[in-house]
Amino acid sequence: MDISDEGQPLDPAWLEINNNVCGGLAGAPSASLVAERFIGVGWSSRSASWESYEVETGWCRLEVDPTEGDTLLNGVVDPQRFEDLAALLTRFGMPFSLELYDEDGELLREIEAGTPSAPQDAAPKPLSRLLALPGLWSRRGGRTRFPSG
């Protein structure tokens, strides 16, 4: 995948805050292809590791990490643009789940799209399964945050 620095850099106002958005793309083909989709709409992208990418625009910076069959997203988003991020993922045509947190790590909003509704006693949602993997969740305020449900 080509690395692109054509997009806007993250607004400095968002550089000092902790990650406030996380999510998962169910069945995404690869982190590289996900990064290419962001480049296609004007975001910049750079390699973050052998298989991971960082994509950004003025109002959001995301780490795009491949996992077993899915792709994990985490980073910083302007809370006023959270729905814009969800709309963009919807436009990409991939099933996803996104969660927005406040500065204290409390869940503010959750959006899922493209995934069928499952009964309460069904297997865990894709995002819950991703976040349960060791090392894929951030520590904030000295405690590890795990989503309920």
Contact present, 111 and 86 (Cβ < 8 Å): yes
Q: What is the pLDDT of residue 27?
A: 83
Please give the model's pTM, rounded to 2 decimal places. Answer: 0.71
Q: What is the pLDDT of residue 3?
A: 58
Query: Radius of gyration over alpha carbons of the chain, in Å?
Result: 15
Q: Which fold has domain 12-114+123-132?
A: TATA-Binding Protein (3.30.310)
- Taking only the tens of pLDDT, the chain with its 149 residues reads 455 556 676 767 767 788 999 999 988 778 999 999 999 999 999 988 888 999 999 999 999 999 888 899 999 999 999 999 999 999 998 899 999 999 999 999 999 987 544 444 444 444 444 444 334 444 333 333 334 44
Q: How many angstroms separate the CA atoms of 97 and 104, rounded? A: 21
